[in-house]
Structure formats: structure tokens, C-alpha cells
Structure 1
Amino acid sequence: MSKKDDEQANRLERARSIGLFRYMLIREAADPTLTSRQRGKLVRHLASQEHTDADGRTVRITRWTLDRWILDWRQGGFDALVPSTRQSQPRTPPEVFELATALKKENPDRTAAQVRRILRAQLGWAPDERTLQRMFHRTGLVALRAPKASAVFGRFEAGRPNEIWTGDALHGPRIGGRKTYLFAFVDDHSRAVVGHRWGFAEDTVRLAAALRPALAARGVPQYIYVDNGSAFVDSWLLRACAKLGIKLVHSTPGRPEGRGKIERFFRTVNGEFTVEIASDTGEVGREIKDLAEMNRLFTAWVEQTYHRRVHSETKMAPLERWMAGAPFPVPAPADLAEAFRWSEYRSVGKTATVSLHGNRYQVDPHLAGRKVELVFDPFDLTFLRVRVEGQDAGTALPFQIARHSHPKARPEIPADEPRPTTGIDYLGLIDAAHSAELGEKINYAALGWDGPASVDLTGTNDDAATS
């Protein structure tokens, strides 16, 4: 037997070994007597396990691959599972595979889709996602980080834009040793991100910083759907929604139905944005100096990448689908400012004084002994409006001031500037493209409101400041 014939025999033997491995793996799930539900359960179980392939390597097989093998076996029997023995020159240059391997090893949380995005942004071209995925399986890189189980949610969809906004908070990476949190609101119909903000606290102030600009620029939704986190059950949010005519709905504890879209968005954020940020645990990525940079980069990613990419469910880009329902009426600046003030009820003493968080104020003498509503900016407790049964009753004059801001109104403190890093900066590439094309953040306020679109967290005395 010639050397060429010997090589061909070896390739044929190896191909049949691969076919046998595939058959042994799917034979139980391919049983034609199984129902679709039973087969799906078996395939999901196989996809979650590690297997030893024909070459003795430990690999994981995706559910998509298992389903394809089952279909091949049904159509062509065992021979359909045997790969071709022909040799061909790979079309992807080896240096591209080397860079893809380095990117995966650099950050094991990067998926094949994310590595492809980075390659395309860096080189202007990238191989197919499935090609990268096969390479990661072949080289054992998928075992660097086990996949996380994800919950399955329903497929309900609102009938029009601005009918339902779903809000939630995502725990993000640390910046300068401090944990970050993302408050975000997603339009249920279009999947557009209508409001967002990164902060150092998961509280009502940071929630307001995400929601107020959204309402000012995107209009007022009919419903806001949130969970039972402390920031979402605060009386401030209920008051703001009531003032603007929004129906605030809380999900039932332990039942996430209807929240699948924002959970899916957060998985996209983790897979494409936060994965590229350096963390205190030593993971490689861009080092963020402060929250201003974090929010700027996130805005660039949302507007440049997420809003323009066709969504797998709607088959439209989120921004395009949301704009199909425009224009949307926006609240008047005075109404928005009123909605985002805070209020608390107090009883007026016999001396016509009232107390609020250690401060004492003088009110109109005829209010002595009555219960009043104090309306205020949480960052400035030196000026309070007084209301009785919803009617204006003047202002409360400072008598003794010990605290100038509400205990919950903690301003952000910039973190120390971290050391710079080198390497491919994916978020920087996206930010540069966003700045070059748009110059500044997309201004949806062109729909009709030109007032302030950001929350004042500095504690300045501005009656229209964000509460």
C-alpha cells in the first residue's frame, strides 16, 4: 500500500470514528418514538454535559449541533454522520485564528459572537461566528468558562411603542473599588432602550437619573413594569407615576413572567459591554476612569450598536421599530419637575413649626395642629413647599437647618483615576465611531422639549433639578 493510500485509510478510519461518536451521542434522543418534549429534554441534558470525542478531548456539544446530527441521521442514516475525508485549505488565515484565540484566552467570558465583533472592528473583516465557535470547541477554549443557565420567559409583546416600559437594575463591574449599577428601561414593543444610567448605588436617586431623561425625551408610557426592589417600591416612584398618569405595576415575587425582554437585554449588556471592561478581579479590558466615561461609552454602544442591529424576535432594529410610532407627546417641563420632587407628610406643632430630617421650619400660623404635605428637592432641604389636601399653602421658612439634603440623596463621588491599559479596546472603537458619525448623543428631545435632560446630583439649588 502506498503512502497516499495509507493516509487515505487513516482519514477514513478517523472519519468513521467521528461518525460513531456522533451516533452514540444522539442515538437515544433520535428515537422516533419520543415526543418533541421528551426529545428536547434529552438534547438539553446532552448539551449541558461534557463528552469525550473521537480524539479523546473533553468537549461540549451545542443543542443546535445535536439537533443537526439527529436530522442528518434521520435523512441519511449512519453515513450522514460521517464527515468528509477530503482535505481542503482553510480559508481563514491562521493569524486571524491566533488573534481570536488570544481574545478568548484574554477574557473567557467573550462569546464567539463577541470575538467576531472585535475582529471586525479591529481588522475590518472577521470569519463566521460558527467558524469561531467550532475552533473554540476544537481547541478546548469553551471549557475555560462553563455556560451559565438562563431562565426561559414568555413571548408576550406590547401592541405599540410606549405602551409598556420594563425597568430593572443590573449589577455591574467595579470602578475604582466601587460596585456599579445600571438602571435601564426597555420599551416592550420595540426593545429600544428608552432610559439608562450607571451609578454607584442602587437607590431612588440613580433610578430617577435614568427615568427622568427618558420621560422628557421619549414621552410618557401607559405602564411601567418593575420588580419589588427597594428603589422600585419607594413612595417617590409611586408619586412620580401618579403625577404623570402612569400605571406602575410590580411583578409578583418569584414570578418573572413579562420580564424576559429586559433580562435578555442585560445578558446582551454583559456579553458585549461589561465583558470589555477591566474589573478589580483582574479581567482584561478597558479601564474606566469614572462614571461619566462609563455612561458615555454605554450611550455610544446603545446608539451605535444595539439600537441599529436587527432584533432576532422583531426582525427590525429597536430604534427603527420605536420610531415607527413617533411622534410621542412629552410632559411639560413644569409637570416633569413637579413629578420628580419628593414629598413627606408631617404634623405642624402648636408653635406653627414642622420638622423634617432634623431640620425645623416655620409655616403659616393657621396650619398649627394640622397634617401637611412637604414637597421638596431632595438635594436642597432649605426650600419646602407646603400643601394641605392637595392645595398650596405657601412655603416653609428655614428655622433650624442641620441637614441640607435628604438622607437618600447621596451624590456620586468620583473614583480615583486607574492606570491605563493597552491592547484592543472594543468599546473605544465603538465610541470613536459613534462620535465621528453623530458628534453627540442622539437627542430624542427634538420631539418637543428643550429643557434639561439630566439629573443634578451635585446638590445645587435649582428648583427644576432632578429629584
Structure 2
Amino acid sequence: MVDNHRFFSPEALFRYRVISHVAALEHQGWRRSDAVRHGVETLHYTDEGQAKRFSERSLWRWLAAFEKGGVEALEPKKRSKIQSSMVLSQDLLDFLESERAKDLKASIPELIRRARAKDLIGPKEAVDRTSVWRAMQRLGLSTSAGALPKGADTRRFEHSSRMHCVIADGKHFRAGPTRRKRVAIYFIDDATRYGLGVVVTTSENLQAVFVGLHEVIERFGLMRLLYWDHGSAFIANDVKQVAARLGLAAVYGRVAYPQGRGKIEVFNRSAKGRLLRNLDRSPAVDPDCGALTLLLRHDLFDVYNHLPHKSLGGDSPYKRWHSSKHPLCPAESSAWLRECFTLPVERHVSNDHIVQVDGTDYEVPRGYAATKVTLHRRLLEPTENGHALYLSHENALIRLHPVDKQANATSGRAHTSVEPEPEIILPKSASQLSFEASLAPMTAADGGYPDTNDEEED
């Protein structure tokens, strides 16, 4: 079962993406040592488009950690944050900040040489450019590597068996007499070019990716790796969380390099020429996303998959798919698959039993005030405010709903039985004691008339 209480950090997901690159090469028959060296030579891009390289030692360490403890083992260890640098002088840091503001394209070695020319670095003092890079990162200065070299590795690739690699991409088009903007999220098998699924939506959003990926896995089983671009829907943290839960190697193509996704780009052109261009301004086309999804699925499964492909030696994707001897890998169960699309959300409950998720206030049952709870966000159940939220309450999952303040204003309040407090006679206060000491009665409690019977008894 998937641990719904675990939420992976962006650093762990990025490291998982890097070792997924190595795993993808291993699936192509590369030796692990060669795949690791190739990963060292490759630039890996963050969600912000920043290029990063990693040492061979880091990749080996991450691979060993992943094989031992999964994605959780890739979480970075917490360290005390350093605001600037412990090895560079403050004068050098001030120079780097001012010089970077004047020249954004100056390389780090060039900045070090300039600092040495201004006597900010001694003639025999060694300054590692990695230390400078880290200090600039902490100061929030730009350290972008710039454009890739022309000699970058751009070799073509193709997987040998079905479901080794699935390529996903979004194709924008217009439909209907009013030219409504629509996006078709396609899933294509790399080895056989077989169309696995398509979902039409109004924009490239997360929900379409989740629905399409779930339908593909439910129908055809799990793939070894997913290959997609840096579209807004694909780089979202929720997508990476789901891929990690499914155990899929997620590989992102190079930024602004469509040639690296040649197969899906060719498919998009053929889809446009085969059908999509005819939907624009057509009065007979219903621009509803559901109707367009049905239309594009018919085109994908009943038309495209049966067309001969020159790249397949004249075979159709349908023939290549069904002639493959590679067995499919179905999901453990439908319940397990849905759990993989359920992410945990930790929130603090306010004193009036409210939790806030994505700017929306949800009401939780009484008894959770001022506590921390774990909510279950089901990505396959979209709502007007995001996704359906569930809370484990009394051994059952109950769905949370946005608070209805107007209904709460007119509904009755729950009656709580309060036990009466026992009557306790409090001791005299300091003020009372002071009063009695200052203004004590002149007579005793008997009023100055003692009881003679008491004296005779004594």
C-alpha cells in the first residue's frame, strides 16, 4: 500500500528524476557505469529551467540510497543554513554582488579574475569557483549556465519493447464555430507508436494529465518510464509525486528542444493534418471537451493505430503492439491504483474546526480543534475548489466540504451536557481578613452573655 502520510520534497523528486535518466539508459542495454558517466555529462534542468550537473559520486550515492530505501532515501539531510559564505571575505561577496548587477553574462572564473585584479584575492590565495557559485546562490545572484554547447549529445533513441517508454504531450487546437481553445493530452508508446490514450481539456492542466495517465495504466498497465516536456501540467509537483508513488521513472526533455521529442512532434503534425485542422470554425463540431475526447479517441484507436508507418517498416502501430512479446505489467489492483493518485495534506485545525486548503475553508467534525490532521486529496475527483478532500474519522474516510457560513448562521447549535460544578466554600480573601482585623466586633460571638449552664458542666 502507498504511504499517504509521506510527501516527497522537490529535492528528492529532482534526484529521482536524475537517477531515472540512468535507469532509462540501463533499460536500453547500457551498463550502469556507462549510464552513470552519461548522467554526469548530461545537463539536468530544474523546474525553473536552470541547468545542473552532478558528480559521479553523487549519482552512485543516490542510486544506492534509492535501491535501499526508495524515493524517501533521496531526501536531503537537514543542514544549518549559511546566509552567505564561511570561506569568502565580505569584501569579495560585496564585489560579486555589485559586479553581477553590472554584468549578468560574466562567468564565475571571470569574476574571480576580476576580484584578483582588484586585490580582493591574494596572489597566492586559492578560491574555488564552486565556493563562489554557492555563495552567489545564497545571495540570490544569477548563476545560469547559459546556452548548451553545440557538441551536446543529441543522438536519436528508440526503445525495443512496448511500454518501456511512454511519451506524453499536449497539442493545442481550436474547435467549433466559435473557435474555442482546446488542448489534447496524448499518450504514445515509444517502441510501437501505438496510441494509448487522449484527453481533451480547455488548457494544459493537471486534471487532464491525471485522468489520462490513470486510464492508460488501468487499460494497458504500468510503463517503465514516462517521457514528457516541461509543460506547466507535467512539471507540477503533484505529477512528480504520483509518478514516484507508481514507481515510474520520469524523464523530462530538454528545455526549448523539440527535436528531443521527435516522435510525438511528428504525431502532433499528423493529428493536425488528419483531424484537428478540420475542427476549427466547423459548425458541425461540438466544442465540449467530453465530445471532443470521444471524437479524438475514435480517431486514435480506430484510425491512427491502423495506419502504416514508414518508420515501422510499413507496419501499423496496432500490428507492432500486438506482435510484441513483451508482457504487460498491470497494476496491483484498482484500489491500489487510486491510492497512488491520493496525496496527503497536513493541516492545523482552527479552534472553530476549520482547515484551509488552496485558499478554501473546509469544515471538519468536532473534536479536532487545535490539532494537526492529515487529509487525503484524491486527484481523480475534481471539484470546483480543486480536489476532493477526505479525513480519516472513526475508522472511516469522510469527505470534507467547504464551510457554509449562511447555513451555520440559521442552523441549531449542538447541545453539550455540562456537569454542574460542586459547591465549594472558598476561604476568606486577604481583603476580608484585613477587614476583620481592623474592624472586629466589640463583643464576642455570644454577645457578651455567656451560657451559665456550660460553666456548671465544666
For the superposition of Structure 1 and Structure 2, which TM-score range results when normalised by the shorter chain? 0.3 to 0.5
Normalised to the residue count of structure 1, the TM-score between the two structures is 0.46
Flag the structure with larger Rg.
2
